[in-house]
Amino acid sequence: MAESDVFSESPEELNSQECPSLQQMWTTLKRIEDNTSKLLEENKNLRAGLEFSQTEIKELKESNKKLMTRIQALEKQESLTNKKLQDLEEKCDDIEQYSRKFNLEIHGITEEENEDVGQIIFQVATKIDADVREEDIDICHRLNKKEGKPRPIIVKFNNYDAKYELYSKRLRLRKIDFMDSGRKGSLLTRT
């Protein structure tokens, strides 16, 4: 439709039913204005929400960055702590190994009720001509391993020489019979 066709009729020729009244136009214009105000208010609220979200995201990024830095520091600290723990475990093993340097296990000696393990050690030492005195032994007792065999005896010596004296003469045990003391032969092992 051309522009001249739209305005071809004079205002008098227009039917009053086709032409909205001034009141109707005013009402429609008021509705458009109200809708525009609502849209502007919603737009304002959306912008405020977007700004709030952007601020929150920025704060979360900063917080995340701080947490990542802290995690890295804690991981580094954990690594150092693990290394120290490993070093301490190695030192503890070395100390334990060193303390076992003075220990000797004796296997195969039959058990008796109310036995004096210290006296058993001195009997063994006497039988194999080992020079072990009472002051050479710190502590001795049977271990808690019981598998149908006599429990082994562990002896902790006060010095390495006394331990070595008994250990070095262990091969003589094969030739010795403990029957006169009611005991069966034994085997010495280092621990």
pTM of the model: 0.51
Q: What is the distance between the alpha carbons of residues 32 and 43, in angstroms, rounded to a whole number?
A: 16
| Residue 92 neighbours by CB under 8 Å, 6+ apart | none
In 109-152, alpha helices (H): 117-127
The amino acid occupying position 132 is: V
Across all residues in the chain, what is the average pLDDT? 83
Q: What is the distance between the alpha carbons of residues 177 and 180, in angstroms, rounded to a whole number?
A: 7
Structure token digits, residue 127: 């039988």
| Residue 173 neighbours by CB under 8 Å, 6+ apart | 124, 127, 128, 185, 186, 187, 188
Residues of the chain with confidence (pLDDT) below 50: 1-4, 6-10, 14, 179-186
Q: What is the pLDDT of residue 85?
A: 96
Q: pLDDT tens-digit profile of 2-35? A: 444 544 444 555 455 567 788 888 898 999 999 9
Q: Return the ∠ at Cα 121 (arms to 118 and 124), rounded to 5°.
A: 155
Give the E-state strand segments of 29-136 in sequence order.
103-107
Residue 97 parent element (H or E): helix 22-100
